[in-house]
């Protein structure tokens, strides 16, 4: 697949930027945490974000995969707005079986993501959605899971991208669209 990025309206990017809080040394020393809760708490801003994403991806995807847990908050309303199903990529031990799993490293700590392969149809065009692209470990794990389950990853939509952490490099060959890049 040739990655062809989509562009989000500048007003949407500005709206998101103005609703993100930056917290130094959370959840551990040296991490600058980008807090999306002010954006979620602002109804018109959150609505504009979901509408903006739906405008861009409408007609292009058959399912939206949300990555636990903050990715769920964005993926669920987007899937509903697009009229497609939502796939839940969950942290280890949360989904009843049968599941497939992939281990990965985070900016802070390690984790394992799981997916119920029965929720994915063969060849389904899946958009992966998450709030933050940092090292790319979570996104790469999700790509692997969707692929193993028989889905076709058409891209990854990220609310925020922390460019210094080069997560995009781990997603080489996939379309990665970020509303706001730091
Ligand atoms: O690109 P990466 O380095 O993999 O990091 C990005 C991931 O880290 C955060 O999730 P976290 O595991 O902190 O969980 P949460 O969404 O449950 O807060 C964030 O929501 C992304 O999913
Ligand atoms: N710096 C950060 N802020 C918020 N969420 C994150 N997930 C991974 N790194 C993060």
Q: What is the ipTM of this complex?
A: 0.99
Query: Residues 166, 171, 174, CA angle at the centre, nearest 5°?
Result: 130
Is residue 1 very low, low, confident or very high in pLDDT (cuts 50, 70, 90)?
very low
- Which ligand has its closest atom nearest to the C-alpha of 141? 1
Residue 4 lies in a domain: no
Number of structural domains in the chain: 1
Quote the ligand 2 centre to 61 CA distance (angstroms): 26
- Residue 143 sits in which domain range? 59-181
Ligand 2 lined by 144 (C-beta under 6 Å): no
> Which atom in ligand 1 lies closest to the alpha carbon of residue 136?
1
Token couple for 121: 């149809």
Residue 165 carries which DSSP code? G
> Which atom in ligand 1 lies closest to the alpha carbon of residue 67?
22
Catalytic-labelled residue, pool 17, 22, 70, 168: 70
Residue 96 lies in a domain: yes
Quote the ligand 1 centre to 156 CA distance (angstroms): 14
- Please measure the distance between the N-terminal and C-terminal CA atoms of the chain and give it in whole angstroms: 26
Is residue 110 very low, low, confident or very high in pLDDT (cuts 50, 70, 90)?
confident
Is residue 12 very low, low, confident or very high in pLDDT (cuts 50, 70, 90)?
very high
Q: Is residue 21 annotated as a catalytic residue, yes or no?
A: no
Residue 2, pLDDT score = 38
Residue 150 lies in a domain: yes
pLDDT, one tens digit per residue, over 21-79 is: 999 999 989 999 999 999 999 999 999 999 999 999 999 999 999 999 999 999 999 99
Residue 30 lies in a domain: no
Q: Is the pLDDT of residue 108 over 90?
A: no
Q: What is the pTM of this model?
A: 0.96
Residue 131 lies in a domain: yes
The whole-chain average pLDDT of the chain stands at: 95
Q: Is 177 left (phi over 0), alpha (psi -120 to 50) or beta?
A: beta
**Nearest CA owner, ligand 1 atom 5:** 134
């Amino acid at each position: 697949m040739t990655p062809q990025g989509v562009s989000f309206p500048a007003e949407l990017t500005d709206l998101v930027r103005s609703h993100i809080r930056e917290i130094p040394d959370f959840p551990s020393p040296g991490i600058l945490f980008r807090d999306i809760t002010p954006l979620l708490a602002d109804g018109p801003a959150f609505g504009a974000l979901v509408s903006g994403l739906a405008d861009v991806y409408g007609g292009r995807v058959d399912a939206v995969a949300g990555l636990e847990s903050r990715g769920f908050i964005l993926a669920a309303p987007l899937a509903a707005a697009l009229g497609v199903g939502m796939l839940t990529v969950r942290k280890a031990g949360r989904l009843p079986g049968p599941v497939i799993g992939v281990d990965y490293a985070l900016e802070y700590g390690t984790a394992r993501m799981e997916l119920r392969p029965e929720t994915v149809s063969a060849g389904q065009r899946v958009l992966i959605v998450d709030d933050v692209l940092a090292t790319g470990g979570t996104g790469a794990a999700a790509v692997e899971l969707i692929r193993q389950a028989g889905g076709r990853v058409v891209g990854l939509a990220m609310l925020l991208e922390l460019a210094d952490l080069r997560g995009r490099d781990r997603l080489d060959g996939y379309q990665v669209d970020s509303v706001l890049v730091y």
